[in-house]
Every structure is written in structure tokens, then in C-alpha cells.
Amino acid sequence: MNSGQLWLKAVFVGAVVTAIPLLIFGCKGTTDPNSATWPDHPGPKVVVSFAPLYCFAVNVAGDDAVVKNLMTSKGPHDFDPTEADVKLISKADIFFVVGLGLDEKKAEKMKGGSGNSKLKVVELGEKLDKDCLCEGRCTHDEHHEGEHEHGIDPHVWLSPDHAAMLVNIIRDELKAADPAHAAGYESRAAAYITKLNALKTYGLDKLKDKQDRRIVSFHDSLAYFEKTYKVKVKGVLTKNPGQEPDAKEMKELIKICTNKDAPVRVIATEPQYSTSTSGEALRKELVAKGVKDPELVEFDPLETVRPEDLTADWYEKKMRENIDKLAEKLK
């Protein structure tokens, strides 16, 4: 190599070294999932209602679309949109929500308030095969907004199987909105589904030796998780998140959990409702009634997120945490 070639090589290496941080950090503005403004970036502008959907959409979108997440500290049961949220919606092309009685009413209201009549609100859960939907455990006598309708459990994202189905629906919507980048959406969706399959295997493996798989869930949210991971949800602590069980409901739970042939010793709590005392109250009752080793386990239904934590792999990380915690407590 003569000095001219060396010089060229130095220039080339220098250019690459300079380009790497630009490639990694250059698009930071476009990838901050929670900022309330749209970056100057080509491709579809996509809003999702809450964090798991962000992960599903952003993994399919890659650099071909921009994805923004709405809900952070308050999840779909409690969320009230702000003016900034409605402003974000006013410039969006697609709004992915779960539907199934969970978040679509607020989405439609926001769409109305934004004046963005071109916005396509996609209720992902409604596009699932009806055979893939599970009944929830609690039936409500009356429906308020934010409650589940038709007795269907809307928490489809808590199974990697269903997550993969949602990813395919997102893929098809993005392909339709942006056909020029169809191949990219295809390949990224396939790559992400490989990760979701790995997540499924991880959980099945972690839980495979558990003999006693019975639990009480905190709110009625685990039908899909239960199906995939073969745990058995025997009861639900709170009818609606944030509403503590009354004396009659508590009595019923104690009866279920002290069943002689099939006692329940693992009771789920949720980080979103850490001030709830009903899980611990139930645990103490079970101790008093002779159930062996009753324990609380924190299970995060992934309805809220700390904004700074929301990355493309957040869903997988949080699901693994849930599985690990459950594996620690089940016997």
C-alpha cells in the first residue's frame, strides 16, 4: 500500500467512524416514541394507544414509518387524552388500538376532536379470528367506558401467539398504506415474529416443571397468557382495576383458594396498582386457613410504561420479567 492508498484508507475509515454515530443517533428525533410532535420524516405517521402496540408497530415500521405511543403512566382503563395527544392525532395517518371494548371509544373520540377525518383507526383485536378470542372471567352487569364488552377479554397482547397475529395485521396495514416499502414491512415483521416465538418458548421452558399452576389474577386480564403458558387462573381479585373486592367477593375468593383438592397459593398484584391491599389481605386469610405457602407475585399487564423505558424490545423484556417472577413463585 503506497502513501496515496494509505491516505485514502484513512479518509474512508474516518468517514465510516463519523457516520456510525450519525446512523445510530441521527434519527433520535424520529424515534422518541413519546414526544408529542412529528419529525420531518417520510412514510406513514402511526400512533398506537399503548406500549405493547408500540413495540409491535415499531418493529414492523423500521425506518419506513414513524410510530408514536400515547399512553404512558395511565393505561387504557384510566387514560384521559390531553390536548397534545389530540394534536398528535391530527397529523397521523393510522391509529392502532386493541379494540374489544378496551380503547376504541377513546380513540374515536380523539379522532373526532382532532378534525383528522382521514385518520384510519384500526382495531387490531377486532381483526383477529373470532376463534382466537377468549372470554373474560368476570361478567359486568353494566358497562362503563373502559370496561370490557361482550365478556371478551381484550388483553390479547399478553400472549406471544396473539402478539404475532397482531404484528401480521399491523404489517398488512402498513403495506397497504405504503406499498413502496412492502418488502421491508414483510421482512421486519417476520424477524420480529421469530423473536415472539422465542419468547413463547422461553416461557414454556421456564414453567414446564410446575406442578401447581393455579393463580388468582389481579384484574381480569390473563385469558391469553393462561392459554399460551398453561397456567390456571382460578379467580380475579379486582373486577375493575382499582376497585377493591367487596366482602362477598373476598369470601368467594377465599372459598376458591382454600379448595381442599385444588388450593390456590399464588396471588397476582400489579405494579400499576401498588397501593391495593386486597392481594395481601387474601394472602393473610389463606395463611390463617392453612393453605401452604401463599405468596404474592407481581405481574405487569403492560398497560403502562415509563416513557424513558419504551424501546423496541420493551415488550419482550417485560414479558420475560413476568415469566421469571411467576416461575419463581409457582411450584
What is the rounded radius of gyration, in angstroms, for the C-alpha atoms of the chain? 23
Window contacting Zn ion (CB under 5 A); options: 3-11, 18-26, 195-203, 217-225: 217-225
CB of 12 to Zn ion, least distance (A): 53
List, in sequence order, every residue forming a beta bridge with 233; answer none if it has no partner: 215
Backbone angles phi, psi at 214, to 5 degrees: -85, 135
For residues 20 and 305, what is the distance between their CA atoms, to the nearest angstrom?
29
For residues 164 and 56, what is the distance between their CA atoms, to the nearest angstrom?
8
CB of 71 to Zn ion, least distance (A): 12
Q: Which residue is nearest to Zn ion (CB)?
A: 221
For residues 281 and 51, what is the distance between their CA atoms, to the nearest angstrom?
31
CB of 153 to Zn ion, least distance (A): 9
When asked if residue 221 is in the footprint of Zn ion (CB under 5 A), the reply is yes
List, in sequence order, every residue forming a beta bridge with 164; answer none if it has no partner: none
Chain center to CA of 277:
25
Neighbours of 232 (CB within 10 A): 12
When asked if residue 49 is in the footprint of Zn ion (CB under 5 A), the reply is no
For residues 89 and 311, what is the distance between their CA atoms, to the nearest angstrom?
21
Give the binding-site size for Zn ion (rule: CB under 5 A): 1
Window contacting Zn ion (CB under 5 A); options: 138-146, 190-198, 220-228, 287-295: 220-228
When asked if residue 304 is in the footprint of Zn ion (CB under 5 A), the reply is no
When asked if residue 272 is in the footprint of Zn ion (CB under 5 A), the reply is no
When asked if residue 69 is in the footprint of Zn ion (CB under 5 A), the reply is no
- Closest to Zn ion by CB, 158 vs 164, is 158
CB of 193 to Zn ion, least distance (A): 24
The region that residue 243 occupies, defined by phi over 0 for left and psi between -120 and 50 for alpha, beta otherwise, is beta
CB of 240 to Zn ion, least distance (A): 9
- The three cell numbers of residue 222 are 390473563
When asked if residue 269 is in the footprint of Zn ion (CB under 5 A), the reply is no
- Closest to Zn ion by CB, 92 vs 133, is 133
Contacts with Zn ion by CB under 5 A lie at 221
